[in-house]
Amino acid sequence: MIKEEQIETPYLSEKIYLTKVTPLRVIWAMFKLTSWQNFAHHPTCSVYKNHYFKIGRVKLCVGCTSFYSMIGAALIAFFSANTFFRTYPIILPIVYLYGIAALSLHIFIRPKNKWLKAFFRASFGLGIGAYLSIIILGPTWWIRLILIGFIPFELALFFIIRGKRANLDLCETCSLHTADPPCDPMKNTTIRSKKLNELIDKQINGIKDHMKASKEAKEKHEEEKETEVLEVEE
């Protein structure tokens, strides 16, 4: 069990830290605030350190990064060595079955180490890349159509096995979940996002008010010039 004092989390404070409030800085702050949901897919606290890669300031989901990168690598390999795979087509089904076996093993043992997780997810991605290559290589259109029809089923099965709250499951058993104040990544992000949205609205309204004031000043200046011209003519 991880002790409370050992847990490092950015989700306890609801404050927004900006050295200067400008539209660009506010938008950038919003991007950083919500990036864990879009890229890391897990809270970026120390409890989830084995669930994301940290590259500079960017944090990426271990599973998705490994999975999608290997799909891309498999397709690049297929198109780069197209003649080879057409000569030995049996290799692609073997790679696909290997990917399915890796997914099954991953689900069975539930590895905690991020690099082992990355290996299993990358293997599954390699298998899916091989599956897509089989579709491209398919001898007839109806075989391709059948293979394409299985893709939604495979994805649905994967997400059903994964579960709806798989990305937040450790939060429920974390000691900070019942602390005072409690650590709640989703709620904390929502509250801080709302504050940033208010700042964005304030900035937009300020720009609108400035433009309106400039327009009114310009119109007033033009009216004064017209009045001066009329007085001179009289």
DSSP 98-143: HHHHHHHHHHHH---SHHHHHHHHHHHHHHHHHHHHHHHH-SSHHH
Phi and psi torsions of 81, nearest 5°:
-125, 50
pLDDT greater at residue 74 or residue 139: 74
**pLDDT tens-digit readout, 199-211:** 888 877 877 777 8
Cβ–Cβ under 8 Å, residues 92 and 133: yes
Give me the helices (H) in the chain, please: 23-35, 62-80, 82-87, 91-109, 114-137, 141-162, 185-233
Range in 16-20, 111-115, 185-189 with the lowest mean pLDDT: 16-20
The residues pairing with 55 across neighbouring beta strands, listed in sequence order, are: 58
Task: State the pLDDT at residue 26.
Answer: 82
pLDDT greater at residue 94 or residue 233: 94
Q: Which residue is listed with tokens 């293979």?
A: 147
- Counted residue by residue, the chain has a size of 234
Paired tokens of 114? 């991020």
Residue 119: pLDDT over 90: yes
pLDDT greater at residue 55 or residue 209: 55
Task: State the pLDDT at residue 213.
Answer: 79
Task: State the pLDDT at residue 164.
Answer: 55
Paired tokens of 37? 């949901």
Percent of the chain with pLDDT over 70: 89
Percent of the chain with pLDDT over 90: 27
Residue 103: pLDDT over 50: yes
Euclidean distance between CA atoms 66 and 125, whole angstroms: 7
How many CB atoms lie under 10 A from the CB of residue 200?
16
Task: State the pLDDT at residue 189.
Answer: 92
Task: State the pLDDT at residue 2.
Answer: 42
Residue 3: pLDDT over 60: no
